């Protein structure tokens, strides 16, 4: 089941309490968003352990602005509170499933190490 997010507090709670969170930024008037929304809902049903959410950019413009969403649909994936994927555009079900599997298996230790190295080099 998809969860609609309307506030930053809701989003922060999800991102900090769930291991993996997918966020679909969309709008009612966006035809590609509606098409992707169907795919997104089907994949969400297949991965009940993952939090699949939606943010309507018209209902929550501050969240869209905070994430610098310029085109929709736009998908962001968090794992352990870190963005591991952010891309706009539609994608087929097979690609979304593959992305979901990658999110499940990505090594966060390696990502954290790279982030720390980048921080230290600045």
54: closest CA among 66, 70, 72?
72
Catalytic residue among 5, 15, 21, 30: 30
Asked if residue 81 lies in contact with residue 110, where contact means CB atoms within 8 angstroms, the answer is no
The label of the residue with tokens 């989003």 reads: 11
Taking CA atoms, 64 is separated from 42, 43, 89, 111, in Å, by 24, 23, 15, 25
Active-site option among 20, 33, 43, 57? 33
The residues, ordered by sequence, that sit 6+ positions from 4 with a Cβ below 8 Å of its Cβ are: 53, 54, 55, 56
Distance, CA of 71 to CA of 57 (rounded, Å): 10
120: helix, strand or coil? helix
33 an active-site residue?
A: yes
The residues annotated with a catalytic role in the active site are: 30, 33
């Amino acid at each position: 089941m998809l969860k609609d997010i309307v506030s930053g507090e809701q989003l922060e709670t999800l991102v900090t309490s769930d291991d993996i969170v997918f966020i679909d930024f969309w709008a009612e008037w966006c035809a590609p968003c509606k098409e992707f929304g169907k795919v997104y809902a089907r994949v969400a049903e297949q991965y009940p352990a993952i939090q699949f959410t939606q943010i309507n950019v018209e209902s929550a413009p501050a969240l869209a602005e905070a994430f610098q969403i310029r085109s929709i649909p736009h998908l962001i994936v968090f794992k352990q509170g870190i963005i591991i994927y952010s891309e706009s555009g539609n994608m087929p079900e097979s690609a979304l499933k593959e992305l979901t599997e990658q999110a499940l298996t990505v090594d966060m230790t390696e990502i954290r190490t790279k982030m720390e190295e980048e921080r230290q080099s600045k």
